[in-house]
Structure 1
Amino acid sequence: MTENEQRLQKVLASAGVGSRRASEELIAEGRVTVDGKVAILGSRVDPSTAVIHVDGERLITDVRTVHLALNKPRGVVSSMSDEQGRPSLANYVTAVPERIFHVGRLDTDSEGLLLLTNDGDLAHRLMHPSYEIAKTYRCEVRGPVSPFLGKKLAKGVTLDDGPVSVDDFRIIDEFESRSLVEIVVHEGRKHIVRRLLDHVGHPVYRLVRTKIGTVALGNLKPGTVRNLNQGELGALYKAVGL
């Protein structure tokens, strides 16, 4: 036993699962695992190292772990520093002492959701194409859009670096010479959404990423960050098998 170990029900309650009594019931019902094994009442764990799942979803108990959502403004570089002195992601996390990674990229002219974390395993898996994490974008594009474009994109088109298809596509609104569309892809190739829409004749004027997996941008204002909640974290870790 180490000095950091605590009763499991206390750890669960501190992480927001419920009261200690409710946490004890979860343990008694066999719904909690620690390091891959079903937990028992009276168990003690080190919250900084234990891998805890409740109903199959990961519970983050290490207070040193950072998981943030950032609404990246246009003109900000998707890196923690920039040799040219342009605004970077570091400008928005000055209060975070840990080294953090950004999950994926948005080009300088694009806006919207970026995830920031110091969990390297999570960041790597979320970016790896084998896990097929869906990303949702809203794009203002040139011209009226054919109602049949969604079917064409679902079947797939071939770009200069290979074929690509979308998971979902819909027209949200139409103006005189522009349209607002939503597109969902799990591809991570560079500028994939811009290149795809340009290829089918609808160059992008504005691009905003609104979701990564089940994490939504929501009403987060440009240039601000928030902590992910336990529900969002559980879904992300489950999606990548952690």
Structure 2
Amino acid sequence: MDNAPVRIFFAARVQIACISNAMPPTKPETPPATDARDGNRIAKLLARAGIASRREIERMIADGRIAIDGKVIDTPATILQSLRGVTVDGNPVQAPAPARLFLYHKPSGLLVTERDPAGRPTIYDKLPSDLPRLVPVGRLDLNTEGLLLLTTDGELKRQLELPSTGVERAYRARAYGTVSQAQLEDLIHGVEIEGVRYGAINANLERRTGANVWIEMILTEGKNREVRRVLEFLGLKVSRLIRTRYGPFLLGDLAPGEIGEVRQHDVVAFRRDPTRNPPPEHAKAPPPRSRGDRTAAPARTDRPVRAPKPGPDAADPRKAPRAVAAIKPKRFYDAKEKGGVTPVKPTRAPIRSETSARARRTATDPRRKDAARDGGFIDKPRAATPGSRPARPSKPGGTGKPRPPRTRR
């Protein structure tokens, strides 16, 4: 058997292996990724510093308003480690402060814009003047009211607005017309209206009031007039629209026109978990602790006040829980004290009526027949009443007659 073909194949295989070992391995060419330690784009840094949004900063760069160490830049892709030496309109940019977030109850009739060419009122006309520069998170229509988030940080604004983040927005809408719960449940699959695709909407029929219905809607995107267009697609006419929640931030009892700031640790918690939402009102209470986990209760500093006993016509108190309320500390003031008001210790004496006060005043009146007489008490035996036994003599062995009873005039 001729082994020549086998030797030739083996030699060729060894030669190919030697060539492959001599050549270094090659990697596919990929564009180098920008590491956060290498820096960030100037538009991102300026937006984080609260100068403006990224889009507005790009316009400012195109207009030649931003410079680095006196040299005007012409591209928003400039990578920087910090904002040192950066100026906007000749003014140096300060280091970015921690992001601040505000909750504003936008009233109806205000535009969410910095200025309006038609001269209509905007939210900035109503905000306090001592606030920092704030940019709105999303938009609310002219006639839409409710919760509007305002922030000093452009990155936080972007995180709140992006649909990919999955931040929920909750609305309550009052609309004229009729709709069924089945129609609202179909919105969970999304809907396309006039070529615009709207994502999943969790809608529930809250209640009916005459010819109107109240509907609660939860969505994760903020397209222009989305809620109104979807409800109009169902044959409803929206007469009032209120945004009650944006992510974990609630409108609560914030009055129209009022503004409040979110605590810093809540802002940090949101950035770590943007999809965190507040628990529903009907959430279950935490399970009771076992006996091994119980701790000593604090000493009682107040005394519970028990409810008064029910009358004979009241229901059986054993069938209803007894109302127990703790005494809250109060401060009582005496306005007649000179030099300002001073706290007065409360007393447990019962409140006296005007009748009892009048009795105290007239008790010492000498004109009254039952008033105390001069000379003190008279040591005389008490008059006998009809049908009673005769009084004993005042002296032993005496034979005095009992004194007749005194008649009243």
Letter in 1 for 2:190: G
Confirm or deny: 8 A CA contact 1:134 1:185 kept in the other structure: yes
Confirm or deny: 8 A CA contact 2:137 2:160 kept in the other structure: yes
Letter in 1 for 2:133: R
Whole-angstrom distance in 2 between the partners of 1:136 and 1:77: 20
Which one of the candidate residues 146, 150, 158 is aligned to 2:192?
Answer: 158
Whole-angstrom distance in 2 between the partners of 1:150 and 1:204: 15
1:210 aligned partner:
244
Q: Are residues 155 and 97 of structure 1, via their aligned partners in 2, closer, same or farther at CA, if it must alter by over 3 Å?
A: closer
1:223 aligned partner:
257
1:195 aligned partner:
229
2:211 aligned partner:
177
Confirm or deny: 8 A CA contact 2:99 2:151 kept in the other structure: yes
Confirm or deny: 8 A CA contact 2:99 2:156 kept in the other structure: no
Secondary structure of 1:220's aligned partner:
coil
Greater length-normalized contact order (CA 8 Å, ≥ 6 residues apart): 1
How many pairs are equivalent?
A: 183
Whole-angstrom distance in 2 between the partners of 1:85 and 1:75: 13
Superimposed CA distance per residue, residues 54-85 of structure 1 (whole angstroms, 9 cap, x where no aligned partner): xxxxxxxx876431100000000011222222
Q: Are residues 144 and 70 of structure 1, via their aligned partners in 2, closer, same or farther at CA, if it must alter by over 3 Å?
A: same
Q: Are residues 229 and 165 of structure 1, via their aligned partners in 2, closer, same or farther at CA, if it must alter by over 3 Å?
A: same
1:148 aligned partner:
182
2:136 aligned partner:
102
Secondary structure of 1:144's aligned partner:
coil
2:106 aligned partner:
72
Whole-angstrom distance in 2 between the partners of 1:65 and 1:92: 22
**TM-fit CA distance, 1:89:** 1.7
**Structure 2 residue ranges without an equivalent (≥5):** 1-35, 37-48, 50-95, 276-409
Secondary structure of 1:148's aligned partner:
helix
Q: Is 1:88–2:122 an aligned residue pair? A: yes
Q: Within 5 Å, which residues of 2 pair with 1:5-24?
A: none
Confirm or deny: 8 A CA contact 1:131 1:239 kept in the other structure: no
Structure with the larger strand share: 1
Q: Is 1:114–2:148 an aligned residue pair? A: yes
Secondary structure of 2:159's aligned partner:
helix
Secondary structure of 1:94's aligned partner:
coil
**TM-fit CA distance, 1:235:** 4.0
**TM-fit CA distance, 1:91:** 2.4
RMSD of aligned Cα (Å): 2.4
Confirm or deny: 8 A CA contact 1:156 1:165 kept in the other structure: yes
Confirm or deny: 8 A CA contact 1:214 1:232 kept in the other structure: no
Whole-angstrom distance in 1 between the partners of 2:132 and 2:264: 20
Q: Are residues 80 and 239 of structure 1, via their aligned partners in 2, closer, same or farther at CA, if it must alter by over 3 Å?
A: farther
